[in-house]
Structure 1
Amino acid sequence: MQVSTFPESVGQTDEDAPGCSTSFPMLCESSQICSAPVMLDRSCQTHAVQSIHFRSKGVTATPPMSNFSSQFGKSFLTSSQYISSGSNSDSESEVDDYLPESDETSELSEDEDVQLTFVMVEKKKLVNLFSQCPVCSSEASLRENCSGSLLTIHQLCDNDTCKFKRVWKNQEQLSRGTSEGNIAISNAIFMSGSSPAKALKMFKFMGMHVISYAAYMQHQKTFIIPSVDYIYDEEKAACMARVAGHSLTLSGDGRADSPGHSAKYMVYSLMDTTTKSILCCELVQFNETGGSSYMEKEGLRRCLASVMQSATVKELVTDRHPQIRKYLRDECPEVKHSFDTWHIAKGLKKKLSALSKRKDCKLIALWQKALTAQLYFCARRGDGNGEVNTEVWKAVGNHITNQHVHPENTHFPACEHGELTIPRQWFSEESIQYQKLHDVIYSRRMMNDIKQLSGSSNTSGNETFNALLNHFAPKLYHYRYRSQRARMRLAVLHFNENSCRDHKRSRSGEQLFAVKYVKYKEGCQIKKC
């Protein structure tokens, strides 16, 4: 059992030097592989956290890429191909300065996979263990040195006849000034999606010895980002191999890094609607396209080009982005382009809500939810057939005037609701509000969108991924390109690992749900897993 301290330099700026006066070190059960617990949902540890190891003393540990474990607290450091030579300290290390020199560094074997655990201990309690010589029990002189979370104690017996001396370290030293604990702290902050400044400041307020902010940024640049990129490439290749030769139905959606039309980055994702896994995800910067308004189209173009190298795209479900609609119509005519029902319903709801606030259109407010629900019924009834979609939607105009037979339709000649027993307020075809409603629901753009309504496929999975991406790369903060891309890729690894996870069940086997009252439902309750 060895001991590990948290330096008080957590959260310091580039000019801050690591402090060594603190009251709370940590006990560390040492191992050859550094593991960092990830503060996400249960079993959220991705493949990247488990399979990246260190190269030490020229011995390379190759991670078993086929074993995809999601257990908590597995090891994650870096791929051996990204580590070079020599470093002075955590806060002054260079990109290529991480080859160990002394015999104190540890060797890794391919079979080793030991989890590191840390236990907090008060510093004076730890120092008392070295106050006496273990040979003659005389008083001993101590000299302490802290480098990040690495604590080194030099012990020398004061007895002239004994002169016992030793050097003790609280954790394995991986290279000059770099230790398992230091890498573990940086890795845990990045993998959990935490803000490094806030996380390090929290440790500082606790009086713990940790790395500085500059050291974290160096670890992120040298170890973590290359490791995430390495694993992402491996997993992407595996995903493409699984779908090779298949005909796919995909859903795509973009996510800007800031609201409005002034975004710097656009993350575009393509998801397989059958397996609910992200097949491809691209990061586009605004200066690559000539403006932020063109980034979503470019992201889709890159994703499609990557997927089409291995598989055939049968159908693509997106929102109603006009540039994407034109691109698919001109460049990919063989791909069926469908629109997500939720996006169309959202636009319809906004128009009906604005119209219902007018003085002469109060009845529209009573029919707003029914008309939105009818749009979903139209998508389900048509199941991707444009003619059926059109006929079902045209029947809405008759239904709201209490006419439920539609002889002009071939596929939908009559309403399917049966006899209506609850009294309703119907529209009159001569009324002003009916004419205004008619102009909205039967506008040229609306009818064109209805023809392309998606059936069973939608972009809800992409929206879920975008919400997850907000955890790893919040829109509140700005990141440089490599960091933004690594966080995007980490979100993809996390999402694909958990997208098909079993539903939580009670002891009797029943599915468990949580009731939520969300804003977009205007107070109505919904069930969420």
Structure 2
Amino acid sequence: MTFHLKKQFLVSESALNKVLSVCRTCGGHCENVVKFAKGTMVCVASVCSQGHVFEWKSQTCHNSMPWSNLLVSSAVFFSGASFSKTVQIFNINLQMFSMRTFMTIQSAYLVPATINVWETTQAEMLEKRVGQSLTLGGDCRCDSPGYSAKYGSYSLMDLQTNEVLNVQLVQSNEARGSTHMELEGLKRSISHLEENDISLKNLVTDRHVMVKKFMREQHPNTDHYFDVWHVAKGVTKKLKKLEGCAKKKGGEVIRPWIKSASNHMYWTSMSSGDDCGLKRAKWSSLVNHVADKHEGHSDLFPHCQHHPTDRDWLEKGSRPHKMLTAVVQSPYLMKDIGKLSPVRQTYGLEVYHNIVNHFASKSNHYFYTSMLARLYLAAMHYNENSNNAKVVTKDGQQKWHISFPKAKKGSEVVVKPCKTPPTYGYVALLLQAAIDRRLDVPNHLAASQEGKEIMGEIPSPITHSFVAVDKSELIQNHRSRFC
């Protein structure tokens, strides 16, 4: 069926009456009566003075469902929009179906279609990598900040091709708590890869304590690296805190070295390969460098490699210098410096998480199946556009645009390469899958039941573990000033 490829139009009631005002049988004047409206569809009966009756429907139906109800629902869901916000657009006298209808269509057709398309796409990606040893990046994204997150989605990305290979959704009651969801997601992701005969050569993550222990004990043959951005961000935060604490006693002299420390960490990781000792030696040299000492750092790294430079140096042994040294040479940090990733980083995962925020906003609550489907939508969108070409001028020069990072408040201005606009080819696959599913299972109750079977076993709602309460008693307590 190709009806979904044809354009859909909004028609005003007055224009509709004008078109249907002439009787098709005798040519006389007709009076139009709206018999019923069903979502986006309207049925109008035209009756002339001679008694001729003509019934007209604004669109075709499949059984009792207007096709545009499915198309509009698909447009809302596949674009990552919220129906509650979308329906507000139609409140200006535009005919629209209810939230209940949307939820029915979503559970019966849209979510199963999304899962089927993702599983097919994922199987094709994994089949290409059978027997290979991959370098992957892993990270967890919680649906809310703090220690009360309901969902944690763990994603594994192929850092060589910049594609999301695996997405695991963990509900907090499936683990020991919200802080354990990241480890559980990683375990499931690795198990899924092993089931598809794919081995993990290198894994780049943040410095999550549980992940470090798990990889060290359970996967000793996998090289576990730490993403430099995550480590540098932690050091930067500590140095900024020191700067604030030390302002009264000359601590503002630390500020010019905060950005330098972050850059030094990147240089340390990129220039040292897999030599853990050399990484630690290069990083520790920062303590001497800030005090204008550039020789005699250590046996592995005896002297600085930069050109002579003029800076506002710290006085060796001063309070600011001691505070900076305590951060740079922290035993916990020094232990992890040796495992900084020398080549691949997880920048792509941070971009992917930003796309997830569009499809599954942290300000909204989603049920498990809907949340999982939205994660898959974000992954398909990212994979299709992750390697978009960079825009060049007619002369073949790369185009750039200026960006003002919000967190820097205008203090740092950067340039970013311009890329071609995103494409949405995956949406056509999703829409066709939803239509095919409607044609195969026209009864929405049967389709919903079949959708649950496709999902398999899902975790029980968190509220099931709570003690049942009496609503009337709660109302009474709410109204009483003695409770």
CA distance in 1, matches of 2:409, 2:399: 24
**SS class of match (1:193):** coil
Of the three residues 170, 173, 181, the one matched with 1:287 is: 173
Deviations 1:20-75 (A, max 9, x none): xxxxxxxxxxxx3454xxxxxxxxxxxxxxxxxxxxxxxxxxxxxxxxxxxxxxxx
Q: Does 1:351 align with 2:238?
A: yes
Preserved CA contact (<8 Å) 2:170 2:181: yes
Partners of 1:522 and 1:253 lie apart in 2 by 27
2:299 maps to 1:413:
no
1:251 corresponds to which of 137, 141, 160: 137
Cα contact 2:137–2:345 (8 A) shared by 1: yes
Q: Distance in 1 between matches of 2:392 and 2:132?
A: 34
| Distance in 2 between residues matched to 1:508 and 1:137, nearest whole Å | 65
Structure 1 stretch displaced more, 116-125 or 217-226: 116-125
CA contact (8 A) 1:395 1:406 kept: no
1:196 match? 83
Query: Contact conserved, 1:228 with 1:490, CA < 8 A, in 2?
Result: yes
1:159 matched to which residue of 2? 50
User: How much identity, in percent, do the aligned residues show?
Assistant: 33
Establish whether residue 439 from structure 1 lines up as the match of residue 329 from structure 2: no
Q: Given that residues 359 and 375 in structure 2 are in contact (C-alpha distance below 8 angstroms), is that contact kept between their aligned partners in structure 1?
A: yes
Matched AA of 1:122? S
Which residue is equivalent to 1:168? Answer: 56
In the alignment, is the contact (CA less than 8 A) between 2:151 and 2:170 conserved in 1? yes
One-letter code aligned to 1:130: L
Question: Which runs of structure 1 show a deviation greater than 4 angstroms over 4 or more consecutive aligned residues?
Answer: none
Aligned to 1:79: none
Aligned position for 2:441: none
Asked if the contact 1:381/1:388 (under 8 Å) is kept, the reply is no
C-alpha distance in 2 between matches for 1:256 and 1:33: 40
Judge conservation of contact 2:288–2:297 (CA < 8 Å) in 1. Answer: no
Alignment match, 2:434: none
Greater Cα offset, 494-503 or 117-126: 117-126
CA distance, structure 1, for counterparts of residue 319 and residue 369 of structure 2: 57
**Most deviating of 322-331 and 369-378:** 369-378
Letter of the 1:319 partner, please give it: D
Aligned partner of residue 50 in structure 2, secondary structure: coil
TM-score, normalised via structure 1 length: 0.75
1:382 is aligned to 272
Match status 1:373 vs 2:259: no
Per-residue CA shift, 1:496-521, capped at 9, x if unaligned?
11111212333444333321211334
**Partner amino acid for 2:198?**
A
Indicate if the aligned counterparts of 2:152 and 2:171 stay in contact, CA closer than 8 A: yes
The correspondence for 1:147, drawn from 16, 19, 38, is 38
Which shifted more, 391-400 or 369-378?
391-400
1:157 & 1:317 partners in 2: Cα distance? 75
Size of the alignment, in residue pairs? Answer: 411
Structure 1 distance, partners of 2:325, 2:257, is 13
Q: Does 1:122 align with 2:35?
A: no
Contact 1:249–1:272 (8 Å) recurs in 2: yes
Q: Taking structure 1 as reference, are residues 171 and 505 closer, same or farther at Cα in structure 2, changes over 3 Å only? A: farther
DSSP-derived class of the 2:89 partner: helix
2:346 paired with 1:455: no
**Displacement of 1:337 after TM fit?**
0.6
Cα gap change, 1:407 to 1:227, in 2 (>3 Å): closer
What displacement does 1:522 show? 4.5
**Quick check: 1:401 aligned with 2:291?**
yes
TM-score under structure 2 length normalisation: 0.81
Q: Whole-Å Cα distance in 1 between the matches of residues 31 and 241 of structure 2? A: 79
Paired AA for residue 257 in structure 1: D
Task: Map 1:85-96 to 2 at 5 A.
Answer: none
Compute the displacement of 1:430 (Å). Answer: 2.8
Q: Once the 2 structures are TM-superposed, how far is the Cα of residue 211 of structure 1 from its aligned partner? A: 0.9
Q: Distance in 2 between matches of 1:445 and 1:407?
A: 21
**Which of the residues 386, 389, 392 maps onto 1:502?**
389
Structure 2 equivalent of residue 336 of structure 1? 223
Find 1:425's aligned residue among 312, 315, 324.
Answer: 312
What stretches of structure 2 of length at least 5 have no aligned partner? Answer: 419-483
Q: Which runs of 5+ in 1 are unaligned?
A: 1-31, 36-114
> Which whole-Å CA distance do the structure 2 matches of 1:129 and 1:322 have between them?
70
Bigger fraction of residues in helix: 2
User: Amino acid of the residue matched to residue 201 of structure 1?
Assistant: Q
The Cα shift of 1:283 comes to 0.4
- 1:478 is displaced (CA, Å) by 0.8
Alpha-carbon RMSD across the aligned residues, in angstroms, is 1.7
SS of 2:201's equivalent? strand
Aligned partner of residue 176 in structure 2, secondary structure: coil
Q: Which residue matches 1:517? A: 404
CA distance in 2 between partners of 1:338 and 1:234 (Å): 31
Which has the larger displacement, 254-263 or 505-514? 505-514
For the residues of structure 1 that align with 2:3 and 2:343, how far apart are their CA atoms? Answer: 45
For the residues of structure 2 that align with 1:512 and 1:123, how far apart are their CA atoms? 49
Look up the SS of the partner of 2:90 in the other structure: helix
Mapping for residues 188-267 of structure 1, pairs under 5 Å: 188-205=75-92, 207-267=93-153
* Alpha-carbon distance, 1:299 to partner: 0.5
* 1:415-459 deviations in Å (ceiling 9; x for gaps): 111233x3x232333323222222211111111111000112111
Distance 2:297 2:206 in 1: 33
Contact conserved, 2:155 with 2:166, CA < 8 A, in 1? Answer: yes
